Amino acid sequence: MKLTKIKEGMAEIFIPKAERIYDAPVFYNPIMALNRDLSVLVLKALGSKKVLDALSATGVRGIRYALETEAEEAWLNDINPSAFELIIKNLENNFGEKPILEREMAIITRERKIIATNKDANLLMTEKFRYFDFIDLDPFGSPMEFLDSALRSVKRKGTIAITATDTAPLCGAHSKACVRRYNSIPLRGELCHESGLRILIGTVARYAAKYDLGIKVLVAYYKDHYFRAFLQLKDGAKEGDKSLMNLGYVYFDTKNGKFEIEKRFLPSKLNAFGPLWLGPLKDQKFIEKMILKSEECELAQKKKVLNFLNTLLKELDEPFFYDTHALARRNSLEVRKLSEIGAILQEKGYKVSRTHFSPTAIKTDAPFEEALMALKAL
């Protein structure tokens, strides 16, 4: 394998030389540096001690967790033997010593313990029952095949970080795949990214509930064709019940773009999309803490990260939004400036914000008819 060295955050990582990232024998995607930066900030804000990067590839994520956070024990795992070899090389390069090979593990014991393994992630997580404070699932495509093991391997008050890159199922382009993987009917159209994220979180809430666990969303988002959710577990049957109360459905009228949500275990009407999570997508104080923590960090893309976190901070935490371009198209109206529509709604006393899900959309607590009237009034 021909290698080249890159720097990301505080880590120096050997990655394979390849024409396209998916041709490489071990996977590294530079676009995901922002995902890893945000994950570092989440870990720093949580102060988690035992951390697992279950699908590690080059090891960049786990190495960054070990170098840039307060983690005392960082585990890096990948099923691919070439990835395992590269993880060991990258550990040696970043920590200045060769890991000791012992019982299928490569271990560095310094002020922090770092352990690399070459196992099926499900097997490793099954062996380490209720062990980790934080588990990161960053798979190719869907995280669903690892979810049950992760929910058993993480502590009952731990946190799981989940990436899903299978946007075609979650956004409704491959509806059957979404039903198979997530047991949920996806929505197409302008709301598909938010509904995809809410389907992912809703599925975790349902899986967690069977272990008498609830979930709290610390921060969740859609970006660069992937979904990411940081979910803190809440211990107890009541917490599980509380989480399930946040599940429900969305109804969508393709003629005019009107949506309606319903928090309910079963839908009361036909043509419901879901089930999906209708609870909060962020904890405001937690994001503020992440922003504070960024001052101590050497992130790969600090400016981008702070811009993004500030967008999330300002975003109204209401389910769904009005995409002004789609609304204009569906109702044969002219496209108008977001700021002008927002000003009309604000004058009427409604809350309005932009949303990271779409640059042409607003989130508001105004009903559909008011949003449409604001578009017509201009």
Residues that bind ligand SAM (CB under 6 A): 27-28, 32, 36, 55-58, 60-61, 77-80, 83, 120-121, 138-140
**Residue whose CB is less far from ligand SAM, 139 or 189:** 139
d(CA 185, CA 361): 23
**Residue whose CB is less far from ligand SAM, 134 or 252:** 134
Beta bridge partners of residue 235, listed in sequence order: 213
**Residue whose CB is less far from ligand SAM, 120 or 317:** 120
**Residue whose CB is less far from ligand SAM, 125 or 276:** 125
- In whole angstroms, the minimum distance from the beta carbon of 334 to ligand SAM comes to 43
- In whole angstroms, the minimum distance from the beta carbon of 61 to ligand SAM comes to 4
Q: Interhelix angle for 60-68 vs 81-95, to 10°?
A: 30
CB contact at 8 A, 364 and 318: yes
**Residue whose CB is less far from ligand SAM, 57 or 244:** 57
**What are the structure tokens assigned to 94, written together?**
């970043």
Place of tokens 């500030």: 310
CB contact at 8 A, 234 and 246: no
Chain centroid to CA 271: how far? 27
d(CA 12, CA 95): 10
Give the contacts of 78 (CB within 8 A, at least 6 positions apart): 55, 56, 57, 59, 84, 87, 118
- In whole angstroms, the minimum distance from the beta carbon of 226 to ligand SAM comes to 10
- In whole angstroms, the minimum distance from the beta carbon of 345 to ligand SAM comes to 40
**Residue whose CB is less far from ligand SAM, 133 or 136:** 136
- In whole angstroms, the minimum distance from the beta carbon of 169 to ligand SAM comes to 17
- In whole angstroms, the minimum distance from the beta carbon of 273 to ligand SAM comes to 28
